[in-house]
């Protein structure tokens, strides 16, 4: 079971969570369940800690950033263990370094390499509830690491895989995965099931209900994920009976469609992402190797580049190159590029954080034409200007002005026939 930030925000909420966890552990008809719980920091806490790091040092050392930002989960894991104990249930916390959750790769966006938890498994079997702080792990050098924002979902799936759980229930503040963010579109519809492939794509383009890596890991390890809400009345049904959203394989989806439980749609969902920034390098030499010079240093610094456009060359063998990076990495990216101004040979560097990426996702596009043109037409009818486009087999994304995000998502939701009936 995993509980997100809003579910853990304060003593009262944690008490509710403890009740849900205890009910699941006690089970039905005397059939107890072994339960490991992964928790997030209280809502807003990680943002607060990130700000402290920025104030301390704008170009912060990611290893020390991890020390600071991982602390929010340490607090909530201890508090949930204490609350479970106060309800009379055996419980203890297992910090990332204690379990241990071994990670590899860059600090602040580390990947889980392995979880080997024989001690925790033994205590689970003895009926003790394990409370694991999400988001954190330990590097080979014995330093604290974190998994990137939203990483507690990935911690939960990794723990579920490590203990071979029957299911990984992700409790959040909405009762499932919707056709788009239900906080933006009131007519969004809850989906009974989504395939791993579509959920992976939706998450990677901004549907933050699940962290992208958690879905990739679940797909690989065959972990059954259910998304559901922790905001339920006391004494409500166990997760086994709640109508959340299941993340399923293609085969399972086919069976659901055959049984008439799901309908096939061309577009499954729409996501938006306001966390990227646009970088334009002007008058880059239009010759072999120029683009490699730009992107190599960014890759070496583990900065993810997303949309890339290189204009056709203009006079004097020069061209403009536009791309997006996560806003959190913009300052570092800009500094790296400035340092290499001579080598790359650009004239100006222009940045813009006021952009958004809007994406439509669906496996139906593999076999149907016209999905992109519907998108372009619907946006142009509302006067929304498209600054860049990128596509994959099951997705079309456009970059637009950030102020038009909500309007664009609503317009597209209607254009693809996803609105719930009144």
Q: How far apart are CA 402 and CA 272, in angstroms?
A: 10
Q: Does 208 bind ligand ADP (CB under 6 A)?
A: yes
Per CB under 6 A, the list member of 4, 96, 148, 244 interacting with ligand ADP is: 4
Closer of 169 and 404 to Mg ion (Cβ):
169
Among Mg ion, ligand ADP, ligand ASP, none, the one that 6 touches (CB under a kind-dependent 5 to 8 A) is: ligand ADP
Residues 338-357 that bind ligand ASP (CB under 6 A): none
Q: Does 46 bind ligand ASP (CB under 6 A)?
A: yes
Per CB under 6 A, the list member of 83, 136, 180, 359 interacting with ligand ADP is: 180
CB of 149 to ligand ADP, least distance (A): 9
CB of 133 to ligand ASP, least distance (A): 9
Residues 1-20 that bind ligand ASP (CB under 6 A): 4-5
Measured from each CB, the residue nearest to Mg ion is 150
Residues 134-173 that bind ligand ADP (CB under 6 A): 150, 172-173
Q: Does 41 bind ligand ASP (CB under 6 A)?
A: yes
Scanning 178-186, 305-313, 369-377, 410-418 for contacts with ligand ADP by CB under 6 A, the matching segment is 178-186
Per CB under 6 A, the list member of 5, 72, 151, 244 interacting with ligand ADP is: 5
CB of 79 to ligand ADP, least distance (A): 16
Closer of 4 and 269 to Mg ion (Cβ):
4
Chain positions contacting Mg ion, by CB under 5 A:
4, 150
Residue numbers at the binding site for ligand ADP (CB under 6 A):
4-6, 40, 150, 172-174, 177-178, 180-183, 207-209, 269
Residue numbers at the binding site for ligand ASP (CB under 6 A):
4-5, 40-41, 46, 72, 134-135, 149-153
């Amino acid at each position: 079971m995993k509980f997100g930030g809003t579910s853990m925000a304060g003593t009262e909420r944690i008490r509710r969570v403890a009740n849900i966890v205890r009910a699941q552990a006690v089970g039905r008809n005397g059939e107890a369940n072994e339960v490991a719980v992964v928790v997030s920091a209280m809502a807003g806490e990680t943002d607060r800690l990130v700000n402290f790091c920025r104030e301390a040092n704008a170009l912060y050392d990611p290893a020390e950033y991890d020390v600071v930002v991982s602390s929010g989960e340490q607090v909530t894991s201890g508090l949930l263990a204490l609350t479970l104990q106060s309800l009379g249930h055996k419980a203890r916390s297992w910090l990332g370094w204690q379990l241990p959750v071994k990670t590899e790769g860059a600090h602040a966006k580390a990947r889980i390499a392995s979880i080997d938890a024989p001690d925790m498994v033994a205590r689970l079997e003895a009926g003790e509830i394990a409370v694991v702080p999400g988001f954190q792990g330990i590097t080979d050098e014995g330093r604290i690491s974190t998994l990137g924002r939203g990483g507690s979902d990935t911690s939960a799936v990794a723990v579920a895989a490590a203990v071979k759980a029957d299911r990984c229930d992700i409790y959040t503040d909405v009762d499932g995965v919707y056709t788009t963010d239900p906080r933006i579109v009131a007519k969004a519809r809850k989906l009974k099931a989504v395939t791993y492939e579509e959920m992976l794509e939706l998450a990677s383009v901004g549907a933050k209900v699940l962290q992208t890596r958690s879905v990739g890991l679940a797909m690989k390890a065959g972990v059954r994920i259910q998304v559901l809400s922790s905001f339920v009345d006391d004494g409500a049904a166990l997760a086994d009976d709640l109508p959340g959203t299941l993340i399923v394989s293609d085969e399972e989806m086919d069976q659901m469609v055959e049984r008439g439980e799901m309908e096939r749609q061309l577009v499954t969902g729409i996501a938006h992402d306001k966390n990227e920034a646009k970088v334009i390098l002007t008058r880059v030499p239009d010759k072999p190797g120029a683009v490699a010079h730009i992107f190599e240093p960014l890759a070496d610094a583990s900065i993810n580049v997303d949309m890339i456009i290189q204009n056709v060359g203009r006079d004097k063998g020069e061209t403009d190159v536009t791309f997006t990076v996560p806003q959190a990495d913009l300052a570092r990216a800009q500094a790296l590029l400035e340092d290499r101004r001579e080598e790359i040979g650009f004239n100006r560097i222009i940045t813009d954080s006021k952009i958004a990426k809007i994406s439509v996702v669906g496996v139906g596009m593999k076999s149907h034409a016209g999905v992109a043109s519907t998108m372009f037409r619907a946006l142009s009818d509302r006067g929304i200007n498209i600054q860049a486009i990128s596509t994959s087999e099951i997705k079309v994304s456009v970059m637009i002005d950030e102020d038009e995000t909500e309007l664009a998502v609503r317009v597209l939701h209607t254009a693809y026939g996803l609105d719930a009936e009144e």
